[in-house]
Structure 1
Amino acid sequence: MTGPVVRKCPLCGKPRSAEHAPFCSTRCKDRDLMRWLDDGYALPGPPALDEEEGKA
Protein backbone atom coordinates (compact mmCIF):
# COMPACT_ATOMS: atom_id res chain seq x y z
CA MET A 1 0.00 0.00 0.00
CA THR A 2 1.33 3.46 -0.87
CA GLY A 3 1.17 6.65 1.14
CA PRO A 4 -0.58 9.88 0.22
CA VAL A 5 0.35 11.41 -3.12
CA VAL A 6 2.54 14.48 -2.73
CA ARG A 7 1.65 16.89 -5.51
CA LYS A 8 4.34 19.14 -6.83
CA CYS A 9 4.41 22.79 -7.81
CA PRO A 10 3.86 23.04 -11.60
CA LEU A 11 6.67 25.61 -11.95
CA CYS A 12 9.56 24.41 -9.80
CA GLY A 13 8.63 20.85 -8.76
CA LYS A 14 8.81 21.44 -4.99
CA PRO A 15 5.97 20.08 -2.82
CA ARG A 16 2.83 22.21 -2.91
CA SER A 17 1.83 24.45 -0.04
CA ALA A 18 -1.81 24.45 1.05
CA GLU A 19 -1.58 28.22 1.51
CA HIS A 20 -0.41 28.78 -2.08
CA ALA A 21 -2.00 25.79 -3.88
CA PRO A 22 -1.32 24.65 -6.51
CA PHE A 23 2.05 26.36 -6.07
CA CYS A 24 4.71 26.03 -3.37
CA SER A 25 5.17 29.71 -2.60
CA THR A 26 4.13 33.26 -3.36
CA ARG A 27 7.15 33.50 -5.68
CA CYS A 28 5.91 30.69 -7.96
CA LYS A 29 2.35 32.03 -7.78
CA ASP A 30 3.57 35.45 -8.94
CA ARG A 31 5.76 33.93 -11.68
CA ASP A 32 2.71 32.13 -13.08
CA LEU A 33 0.65 35.34 -13.01
CA MET A 34 3.39 37.21 -14.86
CA ARG A 35 3.45 34.51 -17.56
CA TRP A 36 -0.28 35.05 -18.13
CA LEU A 37 0.08 38.84 -18.17
CA ASP A 38 3.07 38.76 -20.56
CA ASP A 39 1.29 36.41 -23.00
CA GLY A 40 3.61 33.56 -22.03
CA TYR A 41 0.71 31.13 -22.18
CA ALA A 42 -1.54 30.67 -25.18
CA LEU A 43 -4.73 28.72 -25.71
CA PRO A 44 -5.10 26.93 -29.05
CA GLY A 45 -7.62 28.40 -31.44
CA PRO A 46 -8.02 30.16 -34.74
CA PRO A 47 -5.73 33.15 -35.29
CA ALA A 48 -7.17 36.48 -34.23
CA LEU A 49 -7.78 39.13 -36.89
CA ASP A 50 -5.59 42.20 -36.83
CA GLU A 51 -7.46 45.48 -36.40
CA GLU A 52 -6.42 46.49 -39.93
CA GLU A 53 -7.71 43.24 -41.47
CA GLY A 54 -11.06 43.49 -39.67
CA LYS A 55 -11.91 46.85 -41.27
CA ALA A 56 -13.61 46.80 -44.63
Structure 2
Amino acid sequence: MTTGNSAPAGRTVKCPGCGGPSLFSPENRWRPFCSERCRTADLGAWAEDRYRVAAASQDTESPPPDPQRLGPDGH
Protein backbone atom coordinates (compact mmCIF):
# COMPACT_ATOMS: atom_id res chain seq x y z
CA MET A 1 0.00 0.00 0.00
CA THR A 2 1.40 3.41 -0.92
CA THR A 3 0.61 6.66 0.78
CA GLY A 4 0.86 8.81 -2.32
CA ASN A 5 3.65 10.84 -0.77
CA SER A 6 6.13 11.57 -3.56
CA ALA A 7 8.63 13.44 -1.36
CA PRO A 8 12.11 11.90 -1.51
CA ALA A 9 13.20 9.84 1.47
CA GLY A 10 15.76 11.51 3.68
CA ARG A 11 16.03 14.67 5.67
CA THR A 12 17.10 18.21 4.92
CA VAL A 13 20.43 19.27 6.41
CA LYS A 14 22.57 22.38 6.15
CA CYS A 15 24.98 22.24 3.19
CA PRO A 16 28.56 22.47 4.53
CA GLY A 17 29.50 24.56 1.51
CA CYS A 18 26.92 27.32 1.28
CA GLY A 19 24.75 26.75 4.33
CA GLY A 20 21.63 26.25 2.23
CA PRO A 21 19.26 23.29 2.48
CA SER A 22 20.53 19.96 1.20
CA LEU A 23 18.66 16.67 0.97
CA PHE A 24 20.62 14.00 2.87
CA SER A 25 19.44 11.00 0.92
CA PRO A 26 20.85 8.48 -1.57
CA GLU A 27 18.85 10.38 -4.19
CA ASN A 28 21.14 13.41 -3.73
CA ARG A 29 24.34 12.44 -5.53
CA TRP A 30 26.21 15.39 -3.99
CA ARG A 31 25.26 14.71 -0.35
CA PRO A 32 25.95 16.17 2.12
CA PHE A 33 26.36 19.10 -0.27
CA CYS A 34 23.47 20.69 -2.13
CA SER A 35 25.18 20.78 -5.52
CA GLU A 36 28.23 19.82 -7.54
CA ARG A 37 29.48 23.41 -7.16
CA CYS A 38 29.58 23.19 -3.34
CA ARG A 39 31.17 19.73 -3.45
CA THR A 40 33.87 20.88 -5.88
CA ALA A 41 34.59 24.04 -3.86
CA ASP A 42 35.09 21.91 -0.74
CA LEU A 43 37.41 19.53 -2.58
CA GLY A 44 39.43 22.52 -3.80
CA ALA A 45 39.72 23.83 -0.24
CA TRP A 46 41.17 20.49 0.87
CA ALA A 47 43.58 20.48 -2.07
CA GLU A 48 44.81 23.97 -1.13
CA ASP A 49 45.31 22.99 2.55
CA ARG A 50 42.67 25.44 3.76
CA TYR A 51 41.45 22.84 6.26
CA ARG A 52 43.77 21.94 9.12
CA VAL A 53 43.56 19.46 11.95
CA ALA A 54 44.70 20.98 15.21
CA ALA A 55 47.74 19.31 16.73
CA ALA A 56 48.71 19.23 20.37
CA SER A 57 51.13 21.98 21.19
CA GLN A 58 54.68 20.80 21.57
CA ASP A 59 56.95 21.90 24.39
CA THR A 60 59.72 23.90 22.74
CA GLU A 61 61.52 24.88 25.95
CA SER A 62 63.63 21.75 26.27
CA PRO A 63 65.17 19.91 23.32
CA PRO A 64 64.69 16.15 23.02
CA PRO A 65 67.36 14.04 24.74
CA ASP A 66 70.46 13.20 22.74
CA PRO A 67 70.28 9.46 21.94
CA GLN A 68 74.09 9.19 22.12
CA ARG A 69 74.07 10.43 25.71
CA LEU A 70 71.48 7.88 26.85
CA GLY A 71 72.62 4.67 28.49
CA PRO A 72 71.91 1.18 27.11
CA ASP A 73 68.61 1.03 29.00
CA GLY A 74 67.42 4.32 27.44
CA HIS A 75 67.95 6.44 30.59
Give the TM-score, by structure 1 length: 0.65
Aligned residues: 44
Give the TM-score, by structure 2 length: 0.50
Q: CA separation in 1, counterparts of 2:19 and 2:31?
A: 13
Alignment of 1:15-54 (within 5 A): 15-17=21-23, 18-46=28-56
Cα distance, 1:26 vs structure 2: 0.4
Structure 2 unpaired stretches of 5+: 1-9, 58-75
Point out the more displaced range, 9-18 or 26-35: 9-18
Aligned to 1:11: 17
Cα distance, 1:28 vs structure 2: 0.4
Structure 1 unpaired stretches of 5+: 48-56
Richer in strand (by share): 2
Q: Which runs of 4 or more aligned residues in structure 1 lie more than 4 Å from their structure 2 counterparts after TM superposition?
A: none
Using the aligned pairs only, state the percent identity: 39
Richer in helix (by share): 1
Which is greater in Rg? 2
CA RMSD of aligned residues (A): 2.0
